Amino acid sequence: MVRSAALALALALGLSPAVPFAAAQAPADSALAGPVLPADTVAAGAQPADTQAAVPPADTLALAARRDTLAAAAPRADTLAPYIHSAPPGHGIRWYEPLAVLGGIALTASLDQPVANHFRDHRSQGGQDVADAWAKVGTVGVGVVTAGVLAGGLISHNEKVTHAGLRLLFSVGLAGGAAEGIKFALGRERPLQNTNSLDFDPAHFDTSFPSGHTTLAFAMATSLSDDIHRTWATVGLYSLATGVAVSRVYQEAHWVSDVVGGAALGIASAKLVSGRWRVFGLTPPRFLIGARGPVIGWSVAFHE
């Protein structure tokens, strides 16, 4: 009777008759072992609940895969993007400003022969020795300072000092190259070679205008003073450069207008390299510091 009732209930629920019958015949302690899984679930390969919990969710797997991809794409230490020094906005040179400078140089030419004659008549061995020593600042001194600043920045891994050294190197290089080009083009005779300050013999070297020592000294003074931004440094550096200019006139190696022109050229070169002065839309050089050392890039942009 009981079996018939169970069979009727199973048929009413749409279950296999063997399932409820087997459940009814199971020992009492089998209920303590856990629920009995349906036959179709076991056939599908389902796992117990504690085994399923060990499998990470789909969103966790996606996050881990994205993290691994980003880690693989990250640049190595030796391929990091370099530090780029960008110059500050500079003063655009107007067409009349170079003309004003040239006019000032021309005015100082009136002092060329009187000053040369004065030093010629009042020379002394002590003064000559001082002038010879001071003039070396415009050659050996500039080279030593430039190499020292650049090497100090690279050794200490100080980007600001390294950039200052690179700007100084470019400033004196531009100034020296421009000075030699002008010397060759004009061919002005030195006071030691000719007492006439207006004697020109173009297209040959070892000439007078502009003073190369003075050009380099003022390029160094301008570049360093703009980077240091201290009054004492500005006064000291420009005084040192002025001493170089005076020594070259005392040595009768240059006329007064030669050293004035050299000072103007040195200052302009350093200002153009640092970007504080702009001319014809030319952009200053950009100095890049990467893991493998400094790199110099120079671009030209012409604006209408």
Task: Please say whether the beta carbons of 246 and 133 come within 8 A.
Answer: no
Of the chain, the end-to-end C-alpha distance in Å amounts to: 108
Residue at 156 is within a domain = yes
Separation CA 136–CA 112 (nearest Å): 23
Residue at 264 is within a domain = yes
- pLDDT of amino acid 241: 97
- pLDDT of amino acid 226: 95
Structural domain span for residue 191? 83-297
48: buried, middle or exposed (CB in 10 Å: 19+, 13-18, 0-12)? exposed
Task: Please say whether the beta carbons of 188 and 200 come within 8 A.
Answer: yes
Residue at 197 is within a domain = yes
Residue at 219 is within a domain = yes
- pLDDT of amino acid 259: 98
Q: Where are the beta strands (DSSP E) in the chain?
A: 83-84, 91-92, 277-278, 286-290, 293-297
- pLDDT of amino acid 214: 98
Q: How many domains does the chain have?
A: 1
The mean predicted confidence, pLDDT, of the chain is 77
Q: Give the DSSP letter string of 40-68.
A: HHHHTT---HHHHTTSPPHHHHHHHHHHH
Residue at 36 is within a domain = no
Q: How many residues does the chain have?
A: 304
pTM here is 0.69
Separation CA 134–CA 240 (nearest Å): 9
Separation CA 194–CA 201 (nearest Å): 11
Residue at 33 is within a domain = no
Which residues does the chain have with pLDDT short of 70? 1-89, 281, 284, 286-304
Q: Where are the beta strands (DSSP E) in 172-292?
A: 277-278, 286-290
- pLDDT of amino acid 90: 72
Residue at 31 is within a domain = no
Residue at 272 is within a domain = yes
- pLDDT of amino acid 13: 43
